[in-house]
Structure 1
Amino acid sequence: MVNTRAIVTSLDEHELDILQQSYRLATSPSKHRELSINCKDLLDPELAMPFLQKVGAFWETDSMTATVSLFAKRYAYLTIAAGLYAMSRYNKGLDLSLANSSLESYLQGEAWLPKALLVNQETSSPSAGRRDEWRDEIVQQMFAGNLAPVWAALSKMAGVSQAVLWENTAIYVYWLYENQFPDGASKEERQQIEADYRYLVQEAPPHLFAQRSNPLKKFDSPKRTTAVSDTPIRVRKTCCLYYLAADEPDDYCPTCPKLKHG
């Protein structure tokens, strides 16, 4: 059936460069094959667990729950950052389905910096008057079609709550739309960014995330100053378990609910 909601497009050189340099999009496989994986293989414990054990060495923790949570932060970013930026800034949709994506590893010193490589790098753009429907397709593919099954699989493998993994995802959506995407945008582009952000966090129906409720709305809360932060912050509802891999005991993230924010 012909998709009347969208037309086939492609990224121009400038757009591709931005997504590569700022939003973790790769255009060729990494040489570090032992630290790279087809995204669909994250659903298979026999393939995913050895991979997670390898990347867990970067955080020097014996806790698989902490490893999975810290991995989820990186995976969430490389899955949503380029896709949402392309959607909101360029009106172009990337195919971030599991079958079309691989996680490619890059190292910067001792830091592990994964990127997303897409087999099919064509994009789609909305047909006239069909942007809302097109946006739903892009969001559903990214969240319900990719992150939801990966979070469910990793949660089962490592015993980490899916709520932690979804909040790890949500904090990046907030940060990207509030701090990154508006940079250098025109007035019209800012209006589109604000409209997409409002839709994602307040209006998007749960089925786009394959959840009973919208997880981006669930974890949103007003920023406020606290006893441990003079700068307004959005205090998390779940702990990301970073402290289990920190160099110092009880070293929590500034937004951690384990801190006495008051």
Structure 2
Amino acid sequence: MKPHATATWLDDQEMQALAAEYRLTWEPSTDRTFSMPFTDLLDPSKSLNYLQGVSSIFETDSETATVSLFAKRYAYLILASGLYAMSRFNKGLNYEIANGTIESSYQGEAWLPKARLTNWQTTSPEADQRGVWRDQVIEQMFAGNLAKVWQSLSKATRVSRSVLWENTAIYVYWLYENKFAEGATPEEKQRVEEDFHYLIRDAPAHLFGESRNPLKQFNTPKRATAVSDTPIRVRKTCCFYYLAADDPEDYCPTCPKLKH
């Protein structure tokens, strides 16, 4: 069988870009209270204890809001660097759940955790093998990590997996539509567009560890609404942000609870 990928490494410039913009770090955090291996999220007692602590950061007593807000941050730290490396550098980071750690980090008062990997070796596709390679990279991130965490958290807290997957999907849309093409060459822009199209339309469900592609499931058309002149995707599920907000009527602009 023809090999579909070769072993590679991030160069210094690539690593700096991912560290500066996409929440990847090679340094352990000094804050070990909210730092832990990804795999601890699969242990109900460890994850619930962790989330109880994180709820103080979000300043909410709502377990539902805590799980949802944490899931947003976790999805971002997995996907932002992983998908950017795939689409811009043509390099695959190993985001299998056994290969990383959540590293607690703050920007001012905002808690914005980062990802630190154990094995930093990357892969690059062989000629004419990018589709096979891309599936492997996607599957490691989604089925091999996020799907397992969402299933575990949903089972432990009864927060719907649909909410967690839509939290995931909104970041994929935002990153590809607003961030990943910045400063890209024509070749890189084409790759970004092709990867985004594949993720939200054609990628098979098994790559996500689900019975259907969740990124496609939540990809509703953008439209102007009564609360937004700028076209937006109105969410299908509520992320429960308002339960942690100072104003109980403070909904996200895309929230389905608003009268769009």
What TM-score comes out, normalization by structure 2 length? 0.98
Alignment match, 2:182: 183
Instruction: State the 1:109 CA deviation.
Output: 2.8
Instruction: State the 1:59 CA deviation.
Output: 1.1
Q: Does 1:222 align with 2:218?
A: no
Alignment match, 1:47: 46
Instruction: State the 1:110 CA deviation.
Output: 2.0
CA distance in 2, matches of 1:240, 1:3: 44
CA distance in 2, matches of 1:85, 1:51: 28
SS of 1:34's equivalent in the other structure is coil
Alignment match, 2:62: 63
Instruction: State the 1:111 CA deviation.
Output: 1.3
Alignment match, 1:162: 161
Structure 1 residues 2-81: aligned runs within 5 Å? 4-81=3-80
CA distance in 2, matches of 1:234, 1:146: 26
CA distance in 1, matches of 2:246, 2:38: 30
CA distance in 1, matches of 2:112, 2:87: 24
5+ residue gaps, structure 1, are none
Structure 1 residues 174-253: aligned runs within 5 Å? 174-253=173-252
CA distance in 2, matches of 1:175, 1:3: 35
Alignment match, 1:255: 254
Contact 1:58-1:112 at 8 Å conserved across structures: yes
Alignment match, 1:121: 120
SS of 1:94's equivalent in the other structure is coil
What TM-score comes out, normalization by structure 1 length? 0.98
Instruction: State the 1:3 CA deviation.
Output: 8.1
5+ residue gaps, structure 2, are none
* Percentage of matched positions with identical amino acids: 62
Q: Deviations over 1:5-44 (max 9, x none)?
A: 1101011111100100000001111010111010011000
CA distance in 1, matches of 2:107, 2:197: 35
- Size of the aligned set, in residue pairs, is 260
Structure 1 residues 76-95: aligned runs within 5 Å? 76-95=75-94
CA distance in 1, matches of 2:57, 2:249: 19
Instruction: State the 1:55 CA deviation.
Output: 1.1
Instruction: State the 1:139 CA deviation.
Output: 0.2
CA distance in 1, matches of 2:27, 2:14: 17
